[in-house]
Chain A
Amino acid sequence: MAKKIIEVDEVVVKFAGDSGDGMQLTGTQFSNTSALIGDDVSTFPDYPAEIRAPQGTVGGVSGFQLHFGKIIDNPGDYCDVLVAMNPAALKANIRWVKDGGTIIIDTDSFTEKNFKKAGCLEDRLKDIYEDYNVIQAPVTSLTKESLVSTGLDNRSMARSKNMFTLGMVYCIFDRPLNHTEKFFDTKFAKKPEIADANKKALRAGFNYAVTIHAMPSFRVHPSDTIEKGRYRNMNGNTAVAWGLLAAAEKANLPFFLGSYPITPATEILVEIAKRKDVGAKSFQAEDEIAGIVTSIGASFVGNLAATSTSGPGLALKSEAIGLAVITELPLVIVNVQRGGPSTGLPTKTEQSDLFQALYGRNGESPVPVIAASTPSNCFNYAFEAAKIALEHMTPVLLLTDGFLANGTEPWKIPAMADMPEIKHKIKPAGDDEYLPYKRDPETLAREWGIPGTKGYEHRIGGLEKMDITGNVSYVPENHEVMTKYRDEKVQRLENVYPELEIEGNEDSDLLVIGWGSTYGHLTTAVRELNNEGYKVAHSHFNYINPLPKNTIDVLKKFKKHLVCEINLGQFAGYLEMNHPDFEYVKYDKMQGLPFTVKELKEKIKQLLENK
């Protein structure tokens, strides 16, 4: 039988199993290997909030989706290949498999007991077999068989079944095994028997797939647009941590992060805690409030200080953000958004903290707000947030979300020499006089007189301060002057923010508008529609407060404005408030999931056709 070979530009694969089945590792290995051989890659891990949710249940399914090929901007909507380690994984993901797609199941775990745990799927299995190309492989028993000679116990052997499936998928897509083999050699350098078992299972899976011939083979055209250079895989949380550290190095300041663990922002703290090698200080505080307040203390004494959190934590930090506003100290507040309100959906993504970021404080309390839009550009926007904070003496709110935080993509490693300069406002010793609230006439930033500097002793705090001198002041007119200064200082950032760009076809009636993490899906949808002969444009906001200076000019060019976001229309409302002369059509989603390209295209087409 001749083997069927499918030629494609892009493929989506999803590994799904119990949260203890090692699906995240499997997916990471596959995406690393693909990136290494020159594919563009985007990944999206999706896991339950519970560490070990009840085994075999739909609630306990952990998934890792990856999208690779020629030009990739998002982790993909529907999969070409689904690996389902048990009935629950199949049940949870079957609706995400493309019609006629390939499903690999471990028949050893498709037992009556497991069907029961997953709930009534057995009857549907026949249909699934008809509609999809289902590869039934006794993965668990074959893994054990391949490892008999290792002398490992039954349980340890079964643990390598994820590598057996990875080997199968490597075969389907003609990927080399050596990268994963090397990974195990390094990871288990001190336990060579474990490294060996995993490598054996991987090889066995690969060979099994070769032998059974039942599978399709894909030939994926690798990317020809990737720039030359050194690459690594990057996720949003690490990118934020490194962007902040890069800014500290560039500004030549010590770095301090006060933070409290919270999903999905915790890895920022974890990464900073590792980075004592570059002198970073991490302070795991007793609560969210102490997280930000210790950082304000660190900022007072001349550190680049930051705090990282997620929605509920941002709520707790509100009062302290106001303190940073009135003391006009540099501070980066990173909010990795998740589903809300309250505890909401801790591990799922959402863009619903926009209003909280913009307005969630008492008093007139303006804060610059910027949002990253891809996992790797979290590095650039974290760097940029720190640069704005230090050069303009203000707290800055950086928004990312669960989708960016955990998603990965290949990232061309920048050279520190190429990063922009950062000129902080620390007043050098030696002057006769220090006036804490004397401002730079251009930026309105005050100077930073830090403890330890002779002659600059002064007091700041949460009470309103007198213009220039910084003494406590209840003078009515002064409060108005200071309120306006704080607002004007933030508004003037439009002079340093880059202009809003237009992607796609400018000669269109319709502008698709997004902000933050929806970039990948929106840009793909708009690109595909333009390729299909539609005319559509896309503008994506990374700078939210203030809005880019040319926003109105961009909006004016189009008759219709479609705002797509993962909330109930907060950014659309914000645009309405700032630029009320336009009508904004809202397209919102509230499922803890990113948009799919498919649904975006449908919505855009509907607007284009309904003239």
Chain B
Amino acid sequence: MSDQKYTFKDFKSDQENRWCPGCGDTAILMAVQKAMAEMDHNKEDYAVISGIGCSSRFPYYMNTYGFHGIHGRAGALASGVKTANPKLSVWQITGDGDALAIGGNHFIHEIRRNINLNLVLFNNQIYGLTKGQYSPTSLFGQVTKSSPYGTVEQPFHPGELVIGAQGKFFARSIDNKVKETTSILIEADKHTGTSVVEVLQNCVIFNDGAYNAITSKETRDDNQIWLEHGKPMLFGKDKEKGLIVDGMKLRVVHLSDRISVENILVHDAHETDPSLHLALINMSVTNGFPVAFGIIRQVEAPAYDELVEQQIANVQAKSKIKNMDDVLNSGSTWVIE
């Protein structure tokens, strides 16, 4: 736990920022630095781990311990770091290509194991560093350099994968909402287990405006819903709209004489059954819903690294074998005289 006070500047490294001017990554970097200054860890206990891609340059801009890995393997690297030293606060910085294409296997398995680390997934729906090929989150039909006639692939929704892998913490933010992102990251840090924070991030060069429908001034109030545990699910400029459950499905309703706030769903992030969380995760503008932001799911469960430590402690408390001399002489041995 921290015995020092920090400001976000303590987390800035002396390296030149090489992201493109206007890149959403810079805003996320700011949010992470602000969040870390507020978290209860010493600076030397942070390990920022990444794979390959634009987002994965992140560790170089942080004045913490950092490891810029190889493509797709950030999850495995971070899993090893945390399992080997559970005292560290581990931050995996990854993108939609790194985490969901080449690293998809590690992504689902670290979540399944529930390793106590924080995963920040920069989702810009494109490959940036390799200059504009479609990613596993690119929209169906999207025209990119490697899909000149439009993709014929269905995109992944990261949150859906998190639920499928039995994830316990999933939150969503957007790059330009630094304050909201900061507070989500602080909550992610407090959560024990794998915390996945998807940040919708605008790539100004290869996929500019991908989130315009969600972020533009004219539409953002109608197309964003910020969920808070224990609060009714309201949105719109004057919070005049809300979500209800109609049969097995979510439905958008307008508050009126017949529908009051009491009729609106109250967000329960702690519900263990993931069905409603999944429905919230999958809301999109194209199917007539606002996109859900905030902490969508936060369920307590034992973390892998803690269980590993516990198991070792339990075995050591009972075992007669205390060191390697004991191991070498254990079992069937004989003496030649």
Any A CB within 8 A of the CB of B248: no
User: Cα distance A302–B80 when bound, in Å?
Assistant: 11
Any A CB within 8 A of the CB of B278: no
Any A CB within 8 A of the CB of B15: yes
A293 adjacent to B324 (CB under 8 Å) = no
User: Cα distance A227–B82 when bound, in Å?
Assistant: 46
B336 adjacent to A227 (CB under 8 Å) = yes
| Stretch binding the partner chain, chosen from A332-340, A450-458, A574-582 | A450-458
In the complex, chain A residues 422-459 whose Cβ is within 8 Å of any chain B Cβ? 451-459
Q: Mark B78-101, 1 if CB is under 8 A from A, else 0.
A: 111111110110000000000000
Any B CB within 8 A of the CB of A320: yes
Any A CB within 8 A of the CB of B260: no
In the complex, chain A residues 171-217 whose Cβ is within 8 Å of any chain B Cβ? 183
B85 adjacent to A452 (CB under 8 Å) = yes
Any B CB within 8 A of the CB of A415: yes
- Residues from chain A with Cβ under 8 Å of B326 in the complex: 277
| A454, closest chain B residue (CB) | B44
Interface residues of B (CB under 8 A from A): 13, 15, 42-47, 49-50, 52, 59-60, 62-70, 73, 75-85, 87-88, 105-106, 109, 308, 311-312, 315-316, 319, 321-329, 331-337
User: Cα distance A460–B59 when bound, in Å?
Assistant: 9
- Residues from chain A with Cβ under 8 Å of B311 in the complex: 276
Known contacts A296-B69, A297-B84, A301-B81; 5 additional CB pairs below 8 A are A229-B336, A277-B316, A278-B323, A278-B327, A463-B68
B80 adjacent to A294 (CB under 8 Å) = yes
In the complex, chain A residues 278-330 whose Cβ is within 8 Å of any chain B Cβ? 278-279, 281, 283, 285-287, 289-290, 293-298, 300-303, 305, 319-320, 322-323, 327
Using known A-B contacts A279-B316, A323-B70, A462-B68, determine if residue A254 contacts B327 with beta carbons closer than 8 Å. no
Any B CB within 8 A of the CB of A32: yes
A293 adjacent to B85 (CB under 8 Å) = no
A293 adjacent to B69 (CB under 8 Å) = yes
- Residues from chain B with Cβ under 8 Å of A416 in the complex: 323-325, 328
The 8 Å CB contact of A297, one of B60, B78, B337, is: B78
- Residues from chain B with Cβ under 8 Å of A277 in the complex: 315-316, 319, 321-322, 326-327
Chain A contact residues: over half helix, strand or loop, or mixed? Answer: mixed
User: Cα distance A215–B138 when bound, in Å?
Assistant: 77
User: Cα distance A245–B330 when bound, in Å?
Assistant: 15
User: Cα distance A452–B83 when bound, in Å?
Assistant: 14
A-B pairs, 6 with minimum CB distance: A297-B80, A461-B68, A294-B80, A298-B84, A293-B76, A459-B66
The 8 Å CB contact of A451, one of B45, B75, B105, is: B45
- Residues from chain B with Cβ under 8 Å of A256 in the complex: 80, 83-84
Any B CB within 8 A of the CB of A129: no
A300 adjacent to B42 (CB under 8 Å) = no
User: Cα distance A230–B335 when bound, in Å?
Assistant: 4
Interface residues of A (CB under 8 A from B): 32, 35-36, 38, 183, 226-233, 242, 245-246, 249, 254, 256, 258, 275-279, 281, 283, 285-287, 289-290, 293-298, 300-303, 305, 319-320, 322-323, 327, 413-416, 451-463, 471-472
- Residues from chain A with Cβ under 8 Å of B336 in the complex: 38, 226-229, 231
- Residues from chain A with Cβ under 8 Å of B324 in the complex: 242, 245-246, 249, 278, 416
A279 adjacent to B312 (CB under 8 Å) = yes
A459 adjacent to B60 (CB under 8 Å) = yes
Expressed in whole angstroms, the minimum distance between the Cβ of B181 and any Cβ of chain A is 22
User: Cα distance A287–B110 when bound, in Å?
Assistant: 12
The 8 Å CB contact of A457, one of B63, B312, B319, is: B63
- Residues from chain A with Cβ under 8 Å of B333 in the complex: 230-232, 413
User: Cα distance A320–B13 when bound, in Å?
Assistant: 26
Residue from B59, B66, B73, B321 with most neighbouring chain A CB atoms (10 Å):
B73
B105 adjacent to A286 (CB under 8 Å) = yes
Residue from B44, B52, B87, B329 with most neighbouring chain A CB atoms (10 Å):
B44
User: Cα distance A277–B78 when bound, in Å?
Assistant: 25
A457 adjacent to B15 (CB under 8 Å) = no
| A249, closest chain B residue (CB) | B324
User: Cα distance A97–B311 when bound, in Å?
Assistant: 50
- Residues from chain B with Cβ under 8 Å of A278 in the complex: 321-324, 327
- Residues from chain A with Cβ under 8 Å of B78 in the complex: 297
User: Cα distance A295–B73 when bound, in Å?
Assistant: 12
8 sampled A-B residue pairs with Cβ under 8 A: A242-B324, A277-B321, A290-B79, A296-B80, A301-B47, A305-B84, A320-B70, A471-B15
The 8 Å CB contact of B332, one of A32, A285, A457, A471, is: A32
A276 adjacent to B80 (CB under 8 Å) = no
| B14, closest chain A residue (CB) | A471
- Residues from chain A with Cβ under 8 Å of B59 in the complex: 459, 461
- Residues from chain B with Cβ under 8 Å of A279 in the complex: 312, 316
User: Cα distance A388–B332 when bound, in Å?
Assistant: 31
A323 adjacent to B69 (CB under 8 Å) = yes
User: Cα distance A458–B15 when bound, in Å?
Assistant: 11
B331 adjacent to A294 (CB under 8 Å) = no
- Residues from chain B with Cβ under 8 Å of A296 in the complex: 69, 77, 80
